[in-house]
Amino acid sequence: MKLSDPLHGEVELLPIDHVLLRGVPARPALDGRSGSYDFSELERALARLAGWLAGFGLERGARVASWIAKGPVAALMPLAAPRAGLVHVPVNPQLKHAQVAHILADSGAALLIGTPARLDTLGEGDAPPGCRLLREDDAAAGMSGGEGIGPSEAAPDDLAAILYTSGSTGRPKGVMLSHANLWLGAVAVADYLRLSPHDRTLCVLPLSFDYGQNQLLSTWYAGGCVYPLDYLTPRDVMKSVDRRDITTLAGVPPLWVQLTELDWPAETAAKLRRLTNSGGALTRPLVAKLRALFPQADLYPMYGLTEAFRSTYLPPALVESRPDSMGSAIPFAEILVVRPDGSLTGDEEPGELVHCGPLVAQGYWRDDRRTAERFKPAPPMSRYGGMAVWSGDTVRRDKDGLLFFVGRDDAMIKSAGNRISPTEIEEAAVAVEGVAEAAALGVKDERLGQAVLLLLRVGNEGVKAQVEAQLKAELPNFMQPREIVVLAEFPRNPNGKIDRVALAKDYAA
């Protein structure tokens, strides 16, 4: 099947598990601590892993979750599950059993592949009835031996993955991604990053994120090699760039801050040809540091939504003159800025960013209410029509068509590239006996972008220590509050609810 795009011509849409077939068989495709694979070897490993998954006899479209360390199995699961007619549900390795239990139950996972240590953290009832728990070693054994299955014949709209992302309220919700969503995301990024078979991408971002997963898919689409890395310190990243001759590195602002604090040998810094950023805006001082430290690398600031993968990028040639800009639409994305009545804004007039086109996801898994809030018919002037993602983000467009971020309407906390639901933190806090009310806010932080501030109304001061202990046990590190403040009373709005605007003014300024 082919897609005709008004600006980019015809593109052939293939099932996402075909992506390795684009590479030159004898060229390297995956390198790492677990060994190296060329494209032909990796395709055979993919076929065997898919065959192993198919051997469980699950119905077509059943969900398979993975909660594993980076390596060949983690890298191939986004392709192996769809090839076997299943839907992949990657789980962020930083999550703890409560969040994992929610994802497993919400997705109705039939299988969970995990490391033994992670599986051991799950208690009785954390996995849904009938969900089979399997060790990562079992998947690795299946990948190295056994019968393989050939490339799938999935339709472009067939569901391939569910990626869980936090909203401003409630628990994480699953974004449904089709084969076409993943394929076009790989095509688009490989195109505007100008990736080639000679590129080597260091994959430091979690593969449970759309940004992290696309590191693999776009590099493979271009015929390049990926190096997945679970790093402990920023220095591990620098060492890997040097040892593996890395050309491409994707990151979020806090990582760039840490990397610019290192003493990079000039010959190591010169190996990087391409830096990409998302998950938060780069500041002007940080852009200047990156340009000085990596003068031979192109810098690509980007903006995205899990619900539509990626919306905009700023070409490297404009970074120095327009470092505050989000850029303009990536290939296969149509980005409109609209007024509340749905009409287009004028130049420099703030409006809501609306993403139209084939990168738009299929909605939230089994959540019609929240799907209807975010996925709505495209504005009448859209060249694509159909459903669009109404982002809730306010932006403005200048006379040259470049976009600039103005503000976010929801209460999402964005810290170190993670989208954090205030409600999830608050629910964990009020579960502690003696906590009457809780409010989580995002406060400015130079290294993280935003840090979490938790405000409590409690019966006695001693409860604060209990809350700290509860949060450390129940929530991942990136959701831990930088500070917990106890208040005698919370301000109220006319409806008697906590006045979050007043709290933000007093404590998050």
In the chain the first and final C-alpha atoms are separated, in Å, by 52
**Which of 9-23, 91-105, 178-192 shows the lowest per-residue confidence on average (mean pLDDT)?**
91-105
Q: Tell me: pLDDT of 87 over 90.
A: yes
Q: Tell me: pLDDT of 335 over 70.
A: yes
Does residue 373 belong to any structural domain of this protein? no
Distances, alpha carbon 394 to alpha carbons 352, 374, 494, in Å:
5, 14, 26
Q: For residue 167, what pLDDT band results from cuts at 50, 70 and 90?
A: low
Q: Span 459-467, mean pLDDT? A: 86
Q: 215's torsion region: left (phi>0), alpha (psi -120 to 50) or beta?
A: alpha
**Which of 9-13, 88-92, 381-385 shows the lowest per-residue confidence on average (mean pLDDT)?**
9-13
* CB-CB contact of 390 with 371 (8 Å): no
**Which of 173-187, 277-291, 476-490 shows the lowest per-residue confidence on average (mean pLDDT)?**
277-291
Q: Tell me: pLDDT of 7 over 80.
A: no
Question: 430: which DSSP letter?
Answer: H
Helix segments in 209-303, DSSP class H: 210-221, 234-244, 253-260, 266-269, 284-293
Q: Tell me: pLDDT of 478 over 90.
A: yes
Does residue 156 belong to any structural domain of this protein? yes
Does residue 354 belong to any structural domain of this protein? no
What is the Cα–Cα distance from 504 to 474, expressed in whole angstroms?
25
pLDDT digits (tens, 9 = 90+) for 176-204: 999 999 999 999 999 999 999 999 999 99
Which of 112, 143, 178 corresponds to the end of one domain?
A: 178
* Residue from 452, 465, 425, 308 nearest 374 by CA: 308
| 177-205 burial code (b ≥16 CB/10 A, e <16) | bbbbbbbbbbbbbbbbbebebebbbbbbb
Q: For residue 470, what pLDDT band results from cuts at 50, 70 and 90?
A: very high
* Residue from 233, 217, 256, 45 nearest 148 by CA: 45
The pLDDT, as a whole number, for residue 501 is 79
* Residue from 185, 177, 269, 187 nearest 223 by CA: 187
Q: For residue 493, what pLDDT band results from cuts at 50, 70 and 90?
A: low
Question: 387: which DSSP letter?
Answer: E
Which of 178, 198, 214 corresponds to the end of one domain?
A: 178
The pLDDT, as a whole number, for residue 509 is 64
Look over the chain and give the mean of its residue pLDDT values, rounded to a whole number.
92
Q: What is the pTM of this model?
A: 0.86
Q: Span 376-389, mean pLDDT? A: 96
User: Which amino acid is located at 306 in the chain?
Assistant: T
Does residue 257 belong to any structural domain of this protein? no
The pLDDT, as a whole number, for residue 178 is 98
Domain containing 87 — which CATH number? 3.40.50.12780
What is the Cα–Cα distance from 504 to 495, expressed in whole angstroms?
18
Q: Judging by DSSP bridges, how do beta strands 132-135 and 483-486 pair with one another? A: unpaired
What is the Cα–Cα distance from 59 to 168, expressed in whole angstroms?
34
Domain containing 420 — which CATH number? 3.30.300.30
* Residue from 274, 202, 253 nearest 231 by CA: 202
Q: Nearest-5° angle of CA 210, CA 94, CA 60?
A: 50
* CB-CB contact of 287 with 259 (8 Å): no
Question: 342: which DSSP letter?
Answer: S
Does residue 492 belong to any structural domain of this protein? yes
Q: For residue 395, what pLDDT band results from cuts at 50, 70 and 90?
A: very high
Tokens of 350: 């703030």
**Residue span of the structural domain in which 465 resides:** 413-507
Does residue 216 belong to any structural domain of this protein? no
* CB-CB contact of 426 with 439 (8 Å): yes
Tokens of 411: 């209460």
pLDDT digits (tens, 9 = 90+) for 292-330: 999 999 999 999 999 999 999 999 999 999 988 999 999
Q: Tell me: pLDDT of 494 over 60.
A: no
Does residue 311 belong to any structural domain of this protein? no
How far is C-alpha 437 from the geometric centre of its chain's CA atoms?
31
Q: Span 17-29, mean pLDDT? A: 97
Q: Tell me: pLDDT of 256 over 60.
A: yes
The pLDDT, as a whole number, for residue 440 is 92
* CB-CB contact of 193 with 300 (8 Å): yes
pLDDT digits (tens, 9 = 90+) for 45-63: 999 999 999 999 999 999 9
Percent of the chain beyond pLDDT 70?
A: 96
Q: Span 25-40, mean pLDDT? A: 95
**Which of 147-161, 267-281, 311-325, 458-472 shows the lowest per-residue confidence on average (mean pLDDT)?**
458-472
Domain total in the chain: 2
Q: Tell me: pLDDT of 392 over 60.
A: yes
Does residue 452 belong to any structural domain of this protein? yes
Report which of residues 474 and 267 the model is more confident about: 267
The pLDDT, as a whole number, for residue 353 is 97
Which of 178, 207, 224 corresponds to the end of one domain?
A: 178
E strand residue ranges, 99-156: 111-114, 132-135
Burial of 176 (0-12, 13-18, 19+ CB in 10 A): buried
pLDDT digits (tens, 9 = 90+) for 408-456: 666 678 888 887 878 789 888 988 888 878 889 999 888 898 999 999 9
The pLDDT, as a whole number, for residue 497 is 64
What is the Cα–Cα distance from 73 to 434, expressed in whole angstroms?
45
The pLDDT, as a whole number, for residue 500 is 80
